[in-house]
Amino acid sequence: MTLEELQQRLRAFADERDWHQFHDPKNLAMALTGEVGELVELFQWLTPEQSARIMNDSVTGDRVRHELADVLAYLLRLGDVLDIDILAALNEKMIMNAAKYPVELAKGNAQKSDQLGGDGR
């Protein structure tokens, strides 16, 4: 299934329930933030090692998958409502990040771009 098909399916889901009245950009951005918070909560207080193994527990793994799906659903709805081609936007951002974080400066380095000594855009 493509992102466009998923957006169409989510749009139809909202249409069938007359939820467009609630799906304005502000509300969708807030709902997206809430879902990200629910996802983050599953990792809160875990060690890095525990977080790397989170999917080994079937119950917690299901919760992670479902929260991640909620995040994607709201992200796709927000992109749809704002008429943003998310794949094109991601491609554009990846090109920008490649310029911002050149391999020769950023490889194995977690510093922000303005600390790498590059052009810092």
Q: Tens digit of pLDDT for each residue in 9-33?
A: 999 999 999 999 999 999 999 999 9
Residues 85-98 have pLDDT tens digits of 999 999 999 999 99
For residues 16 and 67, membership in a common domain is answered with yes
Give the domain extent around 18: 3-84
* Number of other residues whose CB lies within 10 A of the CB of residue 28: 21
For residues 74 and 98, membership in a common domain is answered with no
The whole-chain average pLDDT of the chain stands at: 95
- Long-range contact set of residues 26-30: C-beta below 8 Å, sequence gap at least 24: 28/74, 28/77, 28/78, 28/81, 29/78
For residues 70 and 101, membership in a common domain is answered with no
For residues 68 and 95, membership in a common domain is answered with no
For residues 68 and 93, membership in a common domain is answered with no
* Number of other residues whose CB lies within 10 A of the CB of residue 44: 8
When divided into structural domains, the chain yields a total of 2
Any idea what the CATH number is for the domain that residue 19 is in? 1.10.287.1080
Contacts of 109 (CB under 8 A, 6+ apart): 116
- Give the chain's largest Cα–Cα span: 52
Question: Does pTM surpass 0.85?
Answer: yes
